[in-house]
């Protein structure tokens, strides 16, 4: 499912986050990526979600060469991933239930499917009785479990948890790991990124240790077949490039230059817009006026959603 082939990532000439890292993860695996702070673990996640691209080397996800993935295909690609970030990122203006259902609304699910899936996910993480509370009314462990439920809404092929127990006590950490194990047993590949060595005490799960940006050890290394000619996204990207991107009529009031940038980066609906990353915004190179237009629109859009 995942292949890192001699991947190097440099942020500056003298700052190397990863150096010639190679590993392979099969479908259905439960895998820890372990290492001290600053070792390069979170860079692995950023490369997988294509928030960053490698300086050299190849990254594949289910036959997709991630660094070469056309930006227009990024929203569809990221729907294959469920990610829980270190800072949780639940929407503060929505209840726990609304956080989960909102993720399903973006996927254009029916009202019945939204309700059924939301109920199931709340039960999975043991938070059905807390569904009407806002994030600031939940404990740290409850917020983390809520974030896990939301990330599972799109039924991802790969679930990535970045420091899921970093700010939790041992009891809550055990609960989180138990939930992640259950997710894995249902068939989802799970990658847990952490600096907490206590997580791997007495575990037989695959553990990849990253130190100083290099692969320090791997408890279950897998043979990596080198194939530099492989580019399975090439044909798909060409087909996509021929299509004229049409953006939502909700963007009609935007300036001409901003609309052109939205087309260029395939941000064709409000749902895609509110899910773009900080790195995406940087790459778009928006002017101050365009930034203000987007910020005003997003604030108004989220306010309307809350009222609904």
Question: What are 138-196's pLDDT values in tens digits?
Answer: 988 889 889 999 888 888 899 999 888 877 777 888 888 888 998 999 889 999 998 87
Average pLDDT over residues 243-269: 79
pLDDT value of position 24: 93
The residues with which 16 forms a beta bridge, in sequence order, are 10
Greatest mean pLDDT among 197-206, 214-223, 234-243, 293-302: 214-223
Distance between CA 110 and CA 266 in Å, rounded?
24
Distance between CA 3 and CA 61 in Å, rounded?
7
Distance between CA 215 and CA 232 in Å, rounded?
26
Which residues 6+ apart lie within 8 Å of 268 measured at CB?
Answer: 245, 246, 247, 248, 262
Rg over alpha carbons for the chain, rounded to the nearest Å, is 20
Distance between CA 86 and CA 98 in Å, rounded?
21
Give the global pTM.
Answer: 0.70
- Phi and psi torsions of 65, nearest 5°: -85, 100
Instruction: Report the sign of the C-alpha dihedral through residues 301, 268, 85, 127, in that order.
Output: positive
Residue written as token pair 């860079």: 43
Q: 79 near 154, Cβ under 8 Å? A: yes
Q: Where is pLDDT greater, at 52 or 88?
A: 52
Q: 145 near 171, Cβ under 8 Å? A: no
How many other C-beta atoms can be found within 10 angstroms of the C-beta atom of residue 190? 24
Helix (H, G, I), strand (E, B), or coil: what is residue 305?
Answer: helix
84 has pLDDT over 60:
yes
């Amino acid at each position: 499912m995942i292949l890192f082939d001699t991947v190097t990532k440099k942020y500056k000439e003298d700052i190397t986050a990863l150096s010639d890292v190679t590993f392979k993860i099969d479908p259905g695996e439960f895998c820890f990526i372990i290492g001290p702070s600053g070792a390069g673990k979170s860079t692995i996640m950023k490369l997988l979600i294509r928030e960053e691209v490698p300086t050299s080397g190849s990254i594949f996800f289910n036959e997709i060469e991630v660094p070469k993935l056309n930006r227009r295909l990024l929203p569809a690609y990221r729907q294959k991933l469920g990610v829980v970030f270190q800072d949780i990122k639940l929407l503060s203006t929505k209840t726990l239930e609304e956080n989960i259902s909102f993720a399903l609304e973006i996927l254009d699910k029916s009202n019945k499917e939204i309700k059924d899936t939301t109920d199931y996910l709340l039960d999975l993480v043991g938070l059905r009785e807390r569904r009407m509370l806002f994030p600031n009314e939940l404990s740290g462990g409850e917020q983390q479990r809520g974030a896990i439920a939301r990330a599972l809404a799109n039924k991802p092929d790969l679930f990535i948890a970045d420091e899921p127990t970093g700010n939790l006590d041992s009891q809550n950490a055990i609960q989180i790991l138990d939930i992640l194990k259950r997710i894995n047993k249902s068939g989802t590949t799970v990658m847990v990124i952490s600096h907490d060595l206590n997580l791997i005490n007495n575990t037989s799960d695959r553990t990849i240790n990253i130190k100083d940006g290099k692969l320090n050890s791997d408890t279950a290394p897998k043979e990596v077949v080198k194939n530099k000619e492989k580019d399975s996204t090439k044909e798909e990207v060409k087909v996509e490039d021929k299509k004229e991107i049409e953006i939502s009529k909700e963007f009609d009031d935007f300036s001409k230059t901003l609309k052109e940038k939205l087309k260029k980066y395939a941000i064709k609906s409000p749902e895609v817009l509110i899910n773009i990353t900080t790195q995406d915004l940087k790459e778009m190179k928006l002017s101050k006026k365009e930034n203000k237009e987007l910020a005003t629109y997003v604030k108004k859009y989220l306010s309307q959603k809350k009222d609904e």
